[in-house]
């Protein structure tokens, strides 16, 4: 088995984020054993092809907001997808992480 790239590890983890929940870029990086790799997670998601099974829209930034420019079509699409899953945005466009952040049950211990 060839070693999977960091991107592939990111995709594997993001696929575990359940409907109606969100994760942050930094959270995904930590779950991939690369603390500080938040930007690289964004790079990985950006590289996704249309039609992938990776729920990229469930990944938002550490402040609970969408990391696309406010008025962009991408931001609107991501928000619509999240809202369709029941994720609520406040008046400023923020998601309450304490309410919606995904919390994996078990972690592997080396």
* By CB under 7 A, residue 63 contacts DNA: yes
* By CB under 7 A, residue 46 contacts DNA: yes
* By CB under 7 A, residue 47 contacts DNA: yes
Q: Exposed, middle or buried: residue 84 (CB in 10 Å: 0-12, 13-18, 19+)? A: exposed
Applying CB under 7 A, which part among 25-33, 81-89, 100-108 lies near DNA? 25-33
* Euclidean distance between CA atoms 11 and 56, whole angstroms: 9
* By CB under 7 A, residue 40 contacts DNA: yes
The Cα angle at residue 42 between residues 38 and 45, in degrees rounded to 5: 135
Where do contacts with DNA occur on this chain (CB under 7 A)? 5-7, 24-27, 34-43, 45-48, 56-57, 59, 61-63, 67-68, 74, 78, 92
């Amino acid at each position: 088995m060839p070693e999977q790239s960091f991107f592939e590890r990111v995709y594997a983890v993001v696929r575990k984020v359940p409907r109606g929940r969100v994760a942050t870029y930094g959270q995904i990086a930590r779950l991939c054993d690369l603390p500080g790799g938040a930007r690289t997670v964004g790079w990985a998601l950006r590289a996704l092809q249309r039609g992938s099974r990776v729920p990229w829209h469930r990944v938002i930034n550490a402040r609970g907001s969408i990391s696309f420019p406010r008025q962009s079509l991408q931001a609107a699409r991501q928000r619509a997808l999240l809202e369709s899953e029941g994720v609520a945005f406040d008046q400023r466009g923020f998601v309450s992480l304490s309410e919606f952040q995904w919390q994996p049950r078990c972690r592997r211990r080396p």
